Amino acid sequence: MRAPEPGLPELRQARNLANKLLVSVFLFSIFVNLLMLTGPLFMLQIYDRVLASRSEATLTALFILVAALYALMALLDYSRGRTLARFGARFQTELDDRVFSASVKRALLPEERRGSAAGLRDLETIQSLFASPTVLALFDIPWTPVFIAAIFIFHPLMGWLAIVGGAFLICLTLLNNRLTRKNTLDAQSASAGANAFANEARSAAEVVRAQGMHDAVSARWHKMREEAQGQTINASDRTGIFTAFTKSFRLFLQSAMLALGAWLVLGGELTAGAMIAGSILLGRALAPIEQTLGQWPNVQRALAGWRSLADLLQATPPDPPKIDLPRPTARIELRNVTIYAPGAKQPTLAGVNFTLEPGQALGVIGKSGSGKSTLARAILGIWPPSSGEIRIGGATLAQYDADALGRHIGYLPQQVSLFTGKIAENIARMATEPDDRKVVEAAQRANAHEMILALPDGYQSRLDGSDSLLSGGQRQRIGLARALYEDPILLVLDEPNSALDSDGSEALNRAVAAFKDSERSVIIMTHRPIAISQCDLLMMLDSGRVKAFGPREDILKSMVKNAGDVQRVVARGSSPRGVSA
C-alpha cells in the first residue's frame, strides 16, 4: 500500500475518508432548512386564511400539520448534529496515531526546532469544532439566498432590504476575521507559554523550593499569565464588538422589515400575513451568519490547529515500511560515522570506526560535550549518520523498523523517565498486557527483584510518572530492568551508575557481566571508573573525535593521568572521591 503524502494531503485524506457523513449532513440540512419555512407559511395561513374565514377546523388541521413538521425538523436537526459529531470523531481517530507518533518524533529534535508541541491538542480542537453548532451554521449559510428569494416573492422592496442587510452582515464577518485573527492567535500563544512555564515549575518543584525560587518563579508566571489574560480580553473585546453589533443589527433589520411590511400593507401592496412571514424569514436567513460570527474564535482556533497539524505532519513524515528482519547477532560495526546534530553546522561526532563483537563491553569516556551522548543517540537510531554507516548483525540501522530496533537494543539513559502506571507495566515498556514471567526475569537480571519486592505493593506498586517517591537509584534499577525486558542483544548505558550507591553499582556490574556471558554486547558512556570495570575495550572521545581506542588496560595506561588509581578502583569495584576516568 502506498504511503500517504506528508502534511496537508494527509489531513485531506483523513477528512475524505468520512465524506459520506458530510453528504448525509448536507442532505439533512436541505430538509431542515426547507422545514424552516414552516413557521412563516403557518403565520401566512393564520393571518390570511384562518382569521379571514374564522374556521376552527382549518386552524386545527394547520396546527397538527405544523406540530408534525416541527417534530420531523427536530429529528433531522438532531440527526445531522450527531452525524457531524461522528465525522469529527472519525477524523480524529484516523489521525490520532499518526499525530501522536509525529509529536513524539518531533520531541527528539533540538528545542529550537521542535515548534509547537500541541499536535494532539490541535487535533482535538478541530474535532470539537465539528461537534459544535458552528459547522451546522456553515451548512445553513448557503440557504440564506433561498430565504431572501422567498422574501422577494412577497415584495421586491422587502427582498432588497434583506439583501442589503445580509451583505452588510457578511462584510462584518469578513472584517471580524481580518481584524481579530492576529489577536486571537497571540492570545492563544501567550496562554500556551504561561501554561508551559507552569509545567516547568511543577517539574522542577524541588529545585524551586530548595533554591528559594518560589517568589521569583511565581512572579514571572503571574506576569506571563497577566499578559496572556490581557491579550485574551483584548481579543474577546474585539470579537465582542462585532458580535454585539451583529445581534443588534439583525434585530433592527427584522424590525425594519416589519415596518416596511406594515407600510406596504397600509398601501394595499401586501397582506398582514406576508408582513409577519417576511420578518420571520429574514431572521432565519441571517441567523446562521450571526451564529458563525459569534463562534468565530472557535473557527479561528480550528483553522490555526489545521495549519499547525499540516506543519507537524510535513516536518515528520511517516517512516517507510520495513521488512521484518530476523533477530541479529550482537556484532556492532561503526564505519567512518559522522553525525551532525539537527540544526548544527559542525559535526558533533566525526570519523568514528570500531567493531564490537558478541560478549564484549565497550566503555566510552571523555569530557562533557565530547560526543558520548551523540554516539549513544546514533547507535539507538535517533540521529542517523550524515555519512558512514552503523550496522547491527550485518544490517544497517535504516533497515530495521524503529520498534523492532528498540526491541533489539536495551537503553538506560542517565535520567530515567518513568510513566504513570505500575512498576510491572513500566518494566514491560508500558505494554497493555505485560508478560509477568518476562517482567520478573528482567528485574532479576537487573538485580532489582529484591528491591521491588521490598516495596509495599511489589510489582503492583503504582508510580506517578517521574514524580514518584522512588530514589534515583531505584529508578535506575527499574530502568535497567525495562532495558532488559525484550531480551536485547545490545545494551547502551549512559552514565548508568550516576545515581547508584555502592550496592547498586555492584548490582549493575553483575548484570553487565551476566549479559556479556550470554554472548551479547554492552556500550557504556561514563566518566566514573567503576562503570568500566566490566569493559573489555575503551574509547576516549575528545571534541567528537576518537582520541584513543583499544583494550581497557592499554588505554588507561596511555591516556589517563591517574591510571594506577583508576585501575585499582576498577579492580576493587568502588569509586573513591576525586578519582575519575
* 242-250 average pLDDT score: 78
pLDDT tens track for 415-457: 888 888 899 999 998 888 889 999 999 999 888 899 999 988 8
279 pLDDT above the threshold of 80: yes
- The DSSP output letter for 334 is E
pLDDT of residue 304: 81
Taking 50 as the threshold, does the pLDDT of residue 204 lie above it?
yes
Question: Lowest-confidence range among 129-143, 310-324, 567-581?
Answer: 567-581
Q: Which of the two residues, 213 and 45, has the higher pLDDT score?
A: 45
Confidence of residue 142 (pLDDT cuts 50, 70, 90): confident
Question: Which three cell numbers, joined as nine digits, stand for 475?
Answer: 529508578
Q: Would you state the pLDDT for residue 95?
A: 85
Q: Which has the minimum average pLDDT: 183-197, 272-286, 319-333, 556-570?
A: 556-570
- Is residue 146's pLDDT more than 80? yes
**pLDDT per position as a tens digit, 8-52:** 777 888 778 778 888 888 899 999 988 888 888 888 888 888 888
Considering only residues 503 and 24, tell me which one the structure prediction assigns the higher pLDDT: 24
pLDDT value for 115? 47
Between 45 and 174, where is the model more confident? 45
The pLDDT tens digits for 488-498 are 999 999 888 76
Closest CA to 385 of 548, 544, 549: 544
User: Tell me: the pLDDT tens digits for 532-543?
Assistant: 778 889 998 888
332-571 shares the fold of 144-294: no
Quote the CA–CA distance of 547 and 567 in Å, as a whole number.
Answer: 20
| CA angle (503 as vertex; 499, 508 as ends), nearest 5 | 70
CA distance 236 to 184: 8
Query: Residue 1's pLDDT is what?
Result: 39
From CA 234, how far away is CA 248, in angstroms rounded? Answer: 21
Q: Looking at residues 189-199, what average pLDDT do you find?
A: 78
Is the pTM higher than 0.75? The answer reads no
Percent of the chain with pLDDT over 70: 88
Q: Which uninterrupted H or E stretch holds 185?
A: helix 156-203
Q: How far is CA 447 from CA 248, 419, 441, 478, 507, in A?
A: 74, 21, 10, 9, 6
Torsion of CA 296, 299, 305, 310, to 10 degrees: -130
pLDDT for 576: 38
Query: What is the average pLDDT score of the chain?
Result: 82
Q: Which CATH number describes the domain made up of 144-294?
A: 1.20.1560.10
The pLDDT value given to residue 580:
40
Distance from C-alpha of 221 to C-alpha of 365, rounded to nearest angstrom: 40
pLDDT of residue 208: 67
Tell me, what's the pLDDT at 305? 82
Backbone angles phi, psi at 574, to 5 degrees: -140, 165
More confident residue, 173 or 430: 430
Give the residue, 117 or 194, on which the prediction is more confident. 194
Question: Which has more confidence, 304 or 499?
Answer: 304
Between residues 114 and 212, which one has the greater pLDDT? Answer: 212
Q: Which residue has the cell 374564522?
A: 54
Which of the four pLDDT bands, split at 50, 70 and 90, describes residue 472? confident
- At residue 499, the pLDDT reads 65
Per-residue model confidence (pLDDT) at position 552: 85
pLDDT score at 578? 37
Residue 561 has pLDDT above 70, yes or no: no
pLDDT at 579 over 60: no
> So where are the chain's domains?
1-132+297-319, 144-294, 332-571
Q: Is the pLDDT of residue 247 over 70?
A: yes
Please say if the pLDDT value at position 5 is more than 50.
no
Residue 575: predicted pLDDT: 41
* Cβ(353)–Cβ(548) below 8 Å: no
Q: What is the pLDDT of residue 207?
A: 67
Q: How many helices (H) and strands (E) does the chain have?
A: 22, 12
The amino acid sitting at 172 is: L
Strand order in the sheet with 395-396: 349-356, 332-339, 387-392, 395-396
Question: For 84-100, what is each residue's pLDDT tens digit?
Answer: 888 888 888 888 888 88
- The CATH class that applies to domain 332-571 reads alpha beta
Q: Grid coordinates in use for 183?
A: 489577536
